[in-house]
Amino acid sequence: MPVPSPNLYPDFNTVRLSHVEFTVKNLAASRAFWVDTLGLQISGEEPGALYLRAMEERGHHCVVLRQGDKPTANVLGFKVWDEADLDRAEAWFKAKGRPTSWIDRPYQGRTLLTSDLFGVPLEFYARMDRLPPIHQKYALYKGVKPLRIDHFNTFTPDVDASVAFWNDMGFRVTEYTEDEDSGRLWAAWMHRKGGVHDMAFTNGLGPRLHHTAFWVPTPLNIIDLLDLMATTGYVANIERGPGRHGISNAFFLYILDPDGHRIEIYCSDYQTVDPDLEPIKWDLKDPQRQTLWGAPAPRSWFEHGSLFAGLEPREAVLKAQPIIAP
Amino acid sequence: MPVPSPNLYPDFNTVRLSHVEFTVKNLAASRAFWVDTLGLQISGEEPGALYLRAMEERGHHCVVLRQGDKPTANVLGFKVWDEADLDRAEAWFKAKGRPTSWIDRPYQGRTLLTSDLFGVPLEFYARMDRLPPIHQKYALYKGVKPLRIDHFNTFTPDVDASVAFWNDMGFRVTEYTEDEDSGRLWAAWMHRKGGVHDMAFTNGLGPRLHHTAFWVPTPLNIIDLLDLMATTGYVANIERGPGRHGISNAFFLYILDPDGHRIEIYCSDYQTVDPDLEPIKWDLKDPQRQTLWGAPAPRSWFEHGSLFAGLEPREAVLKAQPIIAP
Amino acid sequence: MPVPSPNLYPDFNTVRLSHVEFTVKNLAASRAFWVDTLGLQISGEEPGALYLRAMEERGHHCVVLRQGDKPTANVLGFKVWDEADLDRAEAWFKAKGRPTSWIDRPYQGRTLLTSDLFGVPLEFYARMDRLPPIHQKYALYKGVKPLRIDHFNTFTPDVDASVAFWNDMGFRVTEYTEDEDSGRLWAAWMHRKGGVHDMAFTNGLGPRLHHTAFWVPTPLNIIDLLDLMATTGYVANIERGPGRHGISNAFFLYILDPDGHRIEIYCSDYQTVDPDLEPIKWDLKDPQRQTLWGAPAPRSWFEHGSLFAGLEPREAVLKAQPIIAP
Amino acid sequence: MPVPSPNLYPDFNTVRLSHVEFTVKNLAASRAFWVDTLGLQISGEEPGALYLRAMEERGHHCVVLRQGDKPTANVLGFKVWDEADLDRAEAWFKAKGRPTSWIDRPYQGRTLLTSDLFGVPLEFYARMDRLPPIHQKYALYKGVKPLRIDHFNTFTPDVDASVAFWNDMGFRVTEYTEDEDSGRLWAAWMHRKGGVHDMAFTNGLGPRLHHTAFWVPTPLNIIDLLDLMATTGYVANIERGPGRHGISNAFFLYILDPDGHRIEIYCSDYQTVDPDLEPIKWDLKDPQRQTLWGAPAPRSWFEHGSLFAGLEPREAVLKAQPIIAP
């Protein structure tokens, strides 16, 4: 089995994924999509930037949209347990030979900027401004009624290497796809917060951001979003779904924002807090791992991703082919 | 507009579609599918045949499965208001030059066997054995929790001709697809009972039965069926969906029984009892008419259908092509 | 059995219930409730009056709200098949000794004003202005996403007499509650359009309007409305539910508008188009007829109703007591 | 504020609640309820005892039913991170003056038996037999489709004292009800696993077990269970709901098993993994804390609970009265 043993006592305690910053070309168009259609709430606004949060979040932001020339994913944000964890994180990344710096981010406390083994830009903080709860302000619920950011999924040129690195950070593999021919990992799902994943890796030209996922209460919210997008000019932004993943067992929909940043709407995965939770293995040749109900994903879903700002992706080490819709 | 004016005062009063009889090659396999997986209830059983009803139906059967060598659709059944309507129906079909005969059907009263202009075998009755209600016997609900048979959809070689014939019978068009180039009908949906359709016609090699639909309460029942079929050996029987039709606005799933008889699981269309309800027109070039959310149907969905017993299908008059998944 | 045989060949053809007019004391408050909270669409507006329709309706209005001093239900509207049915309706009501007159109603064609045996004000029309479909304009869906008006429920001083009168009009009983001691009807549900009811009667000080019901797609829409009302100042307007009725098998919620006009939000009853559909009998002593899950209704639900304009209610003939929440 | 500061660095790491053992008087009746109606899966069976698990659990059991003379709750089980945590737990409980012993439990590794400050019997383990996943074996899903045990709720004679004790163990308060008159806690919800609670305390004659909760995917599963129980002889076992709690924001139903052990069916609370999550305060006089939609709970809900085996409950220190249905 190619999955490393979980590191149950990591050097620093990452609580969960927290936020992502995107560069978008037209902030007004992005606002129409993210706020008026998806239903995220504006928690901060400054010239050229919008800060958004989902309905049950109390941290200030889970998405930052920043106006710019080229659509990129700029940084993936994570929350750690306390300030001491931040210092231990700095030491850990330095020991791995990664660049580290302390940066100022609006609404965040002390923030460590660094990157993973392939250069994926990461930031860690312990404290972010807290906002009053809005999860019972039902008049604010709109669109897909997004409750919280759920996970990132990235293309990586070497899934085995990425998993080894993140496993050392304390992320635990819950499910994985193995290329039976090479015995190598094709994809892996890794968590900190007790769901199927905070972070996932898929073999491909990378690093690139495959998607950012938001959690919704039921499949009917996803159906509502499809109806809304289909009749408000966004039908071409619907890429894949709805369906149920074999992996994670979640009900899903994939859509693209106006700049092509992919978003997954996601519900009904399972609880993974047990430290002895056995990872579930899938075969790359099993189409039900993608969609339990059998329908393969479209080609774009395997090929398109957001570039990380300032990072040139590399060819994947694994050349096996996924099953693609004909 | 190619849709004829509705005949609001037809010669006989058809209440609704009622039932279909299929020949199946392996009755045990069909029972595993229709009863154990879909959740229809057995209301009658005789050597080589099963009678089924859905949960809110009080008529004896909506499906008859009959063991045989070649999978066919044998007859489409309709219920008329009273015995006098049966006699008027006989006169009407005779006047149209169609063959008519009075036949014995188990559990049915006096039954008229005839056929439509292209030979689609039809039977009409006024009274069928009534069974006690089971719609509140929730311990019986299984599978997709089918509530009632909802409609038939057939390939016909000439939609305009079929619509004219059925319109004379009092079936009213609710929605239709026009081939803008020829000005002819590509497809039409016609009702008696107050939903979008009891009977629909699509251009194609025909007559053949495209599908038989069953009504369920919510999209979540359809998701439950998908999960069940996907994990009990029926993943290859899932053909299309889930999705929302532009036409009818219904949430749908298409599946195939073990003999390839296509079944639609269907919910959430709309009420059409107003005699002045204006038909909704769709353009053949609009992919949202098929799936509001944009995904085109697979090729099989346009090509495969059940043969009617003893009826050789003819080429369609219209050669236009629908939009098919690449 | 106290239910009369259905009149399958009535003198005139009523298609369905159509609309209700209410007097409200504060039109702005009513608009906040009916439009902004429930989600009905404004289809007409004039000084002192609002016309509303639900999402799948194409007739101009299902509710008229008219500013006035005293909250009343002014008239219950019904649609008949054609103009000749209107004339036959006039003759029928005259023959029953009821007053009739032809009135002008905005957006409606020729309209017959009359009343039932106890004076319930009724209007009948064949043609109402038709509006373009909005059932696929999903950006307009709000609140409980009301799809269509579904039925009226009224207190009557003599259910047997009311049922006899409406049965003659061609309304067919689908379910009824019998007071076993007296052998008389306690309540009855009667339909024209193919659901459990267009019109229902309950024993009580009457005539008064008990409630007007709107159809929604799923129980989750009702839960959404509860969450919204509970957090926007309308918690005291929630009267009963959510629950499932034994009678009709529908999932329900009862709420009160700012003037105390009761509204039922309703889904998932069953199809009743068969002319030989056997009525289902319930015993007045069976609490599950009210709520299948056992919880009795609050006292207000049995006692409160809207007065009909200009009509003094009478004592009920039947003094039996329903089961009331302690 | 009466809530103590969270102990973010507890002496031992409790992962989550794990299981409960009940004594039941008729194991066959309990099986009909827990297995055939609720839908829990039998994972172990021995003379006089049944072991059950929910659909997404991989630990061997979440409920143990043991035949006996007197219905009691025998022990509440919790899972700790590793074996060293078990030893640290032993030391911690000894230091608190609580009795401790190491016991043998079938299917569990080394198990520490102890009790909380008021004698609530507790057991802790690090390893339990792991079973293959069944969360994608959809043919097994029945009843309410229970996914996992979610939390315990107990009556305690002194909520402040219980919260202080469990807070020291590392359980963090997410929501609480304050009696404004005395400034004392009326109730508190405390978690380890990242939901609103693993353990809750309510003022009352105690310790007694108020209820054990199971997580389900959507409110529709709860509606399905209500329909099933209402029509299979369990209508009297439905105690309260369905509704939405103000506290926790969860959709709920309360039912009683054949011995009166109360079960909550629960969905849609929120994620609480942030260590700086601010507890939400509710006023004892606010009826929306109980039911967001306004309906108060029945008296039985405040008064009835399961006795813990061998433990005599004491009077509560706080005499304030909750709001009870009239």
For chain A, which residues make up each domain, given as ranges? Answer: 14-129, 142-307
**Mean pLDDT within A295-315:** 95
Residue D326 has pLDDT above 60, yes or no: no
Question: Residue A1: what pLDDT?
Answer: 59
Give the orientation angle of helix D219-230 with respect to helix C219-230, to 10 degrees: 110
CA distance D218 to chain B (A): 10
CA distance D46 to chain B (A): 28
Cα D284 from Cα D175, distance rounded (Å): 12
Nearest to C284 by CA among C173, C188, C213: C188
Q: Which CATH superfamily is domain A142-307 in?
A: 2,3-Dihydroxybiphenyl 1,2-Dioxygenase, domain 1 (3.10.180.10)
Terminus-to-terminus CA distance in chain A, angstroms? 31
Asked if the Cβ–Cβ distance from C294 to D219 is below 8 Å, we say no
Asked if the Cβ–Cβ distance from B135 to C270 is below 8 Å, we say yes
Nearest to D230 among C231, C242, C288 (CB): C288
Q: What is the pLDDT of residues D228-276, one digit of tens each?
A: 999 999 999 999 999 999 999 999 999 999 999 999 999 999 999 999 9
Q: CA-nearest residue of chain B to D38?
A: B139
**Mean pLDDT within A185-202:** 98
Residue B148 has pLDDT above 70, yes or no: yes
Question: Residue B160: what pLDDT?
Answer: 98
Q: What is the pLDDT of residues B283-316, one digit of tens each?
A: 998 989 999 999 889 999 999 999 999 999 999 9
| Residues in chain C whose Cβ is within 8 Å of chain D | 218-220, 223, 226-227, 229-231, 235-236, 238, 242, 244, 251, 288, 292-295, 325-326
CA distance C239 to chain D (A): 9
Residue B326 has pLDDT above 70, yes or no: no
Residue D325 has pLDDT above 70, yes or no: no
Question: Residue D230: what pLDDT?
Answer: 98
- Do D253 and D244 meet the contact criterion of CB atoms below 8 Å apart? no
Name the percent of chain D lying above pLDDT 90: 95
Nearest to C227 among A138, A220, A231 (CB): A138
Question: Residue A294: what pLDDT?
Answer: 92
Which residues on chain D are in Cβ contact (under 8 Å) with C218?
A: 220
Question: Residue C212: what pLDDT?
Answer: 98
Question: Residue B287: what pLDDT?
Answer: 87
Cα B228 from Cα B238, distance rounded (Å): 11
Q: CA-nearest residue of chain A to C145?
A: A224
Cα D318 from Cα D157, distance rounded (Å): 8
Question: Residue A325: what pLDDT?
Answer: 65
- Do B79 and B69 meet the contact criterion of CB atoms below 8 Å apart? no
Asked if the Cβ–Cβ distance from C242 to D242 is below 8 Å, we say yes
CA distance C91 to chain D (A): 46
Q: CA-nearest residue of chain B to D230?
A: B138
Nearest to C264 by CA among C100, C146, C157: C146
Question: Residue C267: what pLDDT?
Answer: 95
Nearest to A65 by CA among A57, A53, A78: A53
Nearest to B249 among C58, C136, C270 (CB): C136
3-state SS assignment for residue D139: helix
Cβ pairs bridging A and D (under 8 Å): 72
Cβ pairs bridging C and D (under 8 Å): 56
The total of other beta-carbon atoms located within 10 Å of residue A181's CB is 10
Nearest to C58 among B82, B136, B277 (CB): B277
Asked if the Cβ–Cβ distance from D227 to B137 is below 8 Å, we say no
Q: What is the pTM (predicted TM-score) of this model?
A: 0.98
Which residues on chain A are in Cβ contact (under 8 Å) with B325?
A: 325-326
Q: What is the pLDDT of residues A56-91, one digit of tens each?
A: 999 999 999 999 999 999 999 999 999 999 999 999
Give the orientation angle of helix A219-230 with respect to helix B219-230, to 10 degrees: 110
Asked if the Cβ–Cβ distance from D137 to B218 is below 8 Å, we say no
- Do B35 and B167 meet the contact criterion of CB atoms below 8 Å apart? no
Task: Fill in the DSSP letter of residue B295.
Answer: P
Mean residue pLDDT across chain D: 96
| Residues in chain B whose Cβ is within 8 Å of chain C | 8, 15-16, 56, 58-59, 79, 81-82, 127, 130, 133, 135-136, 147-148, 193-194, 217-218, 246, 249, 268, 270-271, 273-278, 280, 292
Question: Residue D166: what pLDDT?
Answer: 98
H or E element in which residue A179 lies: strand A172-179
- Do B287 and B278 meet the contact criterion of CB atoms below 8 Å apart? no
Mean residue pLDDT across chain A: 96
Terminus-to-terminus CA distance in chain C, angstroms? 31
CA distance D132 to chain C (A): 33
Nearest to A16 by CA among A110, A81, A87, A100: A81
Which contacts of A104-107 are long-range, i.e. CB under 8 A and separated by 24 or more positions? A106/A44, A106/A46, A106/A51, A107/A44, A107/A51, A107/A60, A107/A61
Distance of CA C253 to the CA centre of its chain: 14
Tell me the CB-side half-sphere exposure of residue B284, using CA atoms within 13 A.
18
Nearest to C135 among B79, B193, B270 (CB): B270
CA dist list (Å): C250 to C125, C280, C302, D73:
29, 14, 19, 38
What phi and psi values does residue A225 have, to the nearest 5 degrees? Answer: -65, -40
Question: Residue C287: what pLDDT?
Answer: 87
Residue D65 has pLDDT above 90, yes or no: yes
Name the percent of chain A lying above pLDDT 90: 95
**Over chain C (326 residues), what is each successive 10-residue block's mean pLDDT?**
92 98 98 98 98 98 98 98 98 98 98 98 98 98 98 98 98 96 95 98 97 97 98 98 97 98 96 98 92 93 96 92 68
Question: Residue B321: what pLDDT?
Answer: 72
Cα B152 from Cα B75, distance rounded (Å): 11
For domain D14-129, which architecture applies? Answer: Roll (3.10)
Question: Residue D1: what pLDDT?
Answer: 59
| Confidence band, pLDDT 50/70/90 cuts, at residue A287 | confident
**CA-atom Rg of chain C in angstroms:** 19
**Mean pLDDT within A282-305:** 93
C253 Cβ neighbours under 8 A, 6+ residues apart: C222, C225, C226, C238, C240, C241, C242, C264, C265
- Do A228 and A221 meet the contact criterion of CB atoms below 8 Å apart? no
Mean residue pLDDT across chain B: 96
Question: Residue D74: what pLDDT?
Answer: 98
Cα B178 from Cα B186, distance rounded (Å): 5
* Residue of A82, A273, A281, A288 to mutate for D, most D C-beta atoms under 10 A: A273
**Mean pLDDT within D79-85:** 98
